Amino acid sequence: MNPEFVDCTGLPCPQPVLRAKEALEAGASCIEVVVDNEASQNNVARFGRSQGHDVRCHHQGEGRYAITITTGKKHTAEPFDADAYQCPLPSSPKMIYVISSDAMGRGSDQLGWALLQTFVQTIKEVQPLPSAIVLYNSGVKLVTSESGALEALRQLQERGVEILACGTCLDFYQLKAALRVGQISNMHEIMRTMVEAEKIISPF
């Protein structure tokens, strides 16, 4: 039986799993999924086994992995959850984001606040991830209960990005009780993080 080829090289998780799922649901009885990292290989293999299929993996060399999934006698398939097949994104220990205001750009403060929240929400989509996000002055408002970027910051934190919020700034704006993500930091830690970084990105 010749397997149906599913090329998933270059695709971030969970796309390889979704492509494999689509091919099987379209009627393919045997597929060969090719990916370019071990995390994706493990996810595709785990998905195949969770659905009761026969799964075989082999390393093709040069960073390519092939997973052959053959349908057969199914046991009860596990419910599918795409979020369970997310891969951790790589981070750069030499790059940090510094956010020192609650508005991105000049002009309307309301627009600037909306743009800044969107900016933070987009960080997780850009590789590599930073090792840390440093917030001071009114930038600390992003980690409080009034921020629309909290979920994005939580996801970044779960993927290993440090979220450092200036404690003096939280005190000044009376926001310590509203802190919802990240850790309270101090000037020494903020300065050390900035000095050790080789690249600092700021939206201002």
**Can you give the three-state secondary structure of 105-172, one letter per residue?**
CCCCHHHHHHHHHHHHHHHCCCCCEEEEEEECHHHHHHHECCCCCHHHHHHHHHCCCEEEEEHHHHHH
Domain shared by 31 and 13, yes or no: yes
Domain shared by 19 and 97, yes or no: no
Question: Last residue of some domain: 45, 65, 85?
Answer: 85
Enclosing domain of residue 97: 91-201
Domain shared by 185 and 118, yes or no: yes
Domain shared by 81 and 152, yes or no: no
Question: Last residue of some domain: 85, 102, 121?
Answer: 85
Nearest to 82 by CA among 146, 140, 127, 16: 16
- The pLDDT, as a whole number, for residue 1 is 66
Domain shared by 23 and 79, yes or no: yes
Domain shared by 97 and 37, yes or no: no
Domain shared by 98 and 180, yes or no: yes
Lowest mean pLDDT, pick from 3-12, 49-58, 82-91: 82-91
Domain shared by 77 and 120, yes or no: no
CA 46 – CA 41 distance, rounded (Å): 8
Looking at residue 177, which CATH number applies to its domain? Answer: 3.40.1260.10
Question: Last residue of some domain: 53, 85, 117?
Answer: 85
Q: Is the pLDDT of residue 92 over 60?
A: no
Counting the structural domains of the chain, the total is: 2
Domain shared by 132 and 191, yes or no: yes
Q: Which pLDDT band, with edges at 50, 70 and 90, does 192 fall under? A: very high
Q: Which pLDDT band, with edges at 50, 70 and 90, does 37 fall under? A: confident
Domain shared by 70 and 126, yes or no: no
Nearest to 203 by CA among 91, 92, 122: 122
- The pLDDT, as a whole number, for residue 11 is 84
Q: Which pLDDT band, with edges at 50, 70 and 90, does 20 fall under? A: very high
Domain shared by 139 and 45, yes or no: no
Looking at residue 9, which CATH number applies to its domain? Answer: 3.30.110.40
Radius of gyration of the chain (CA): 22
Q: Is the pLDDT of residue 180 over 70?
A: yes
Q: Is the pLDDT of residue 122 over 60?
A: yes
Q: Name the pTM for this structure.
A: 0.58
**pLDDT tens digits for range 131-163:** 999 999 999 999 999 899 999 999 999 888 999
Q: What is the DSSP letter of 24?
A: H
Nearest to 66 by CA among 36, 29, 91: 36
Domain shared by 45 and 112, yes or no: no
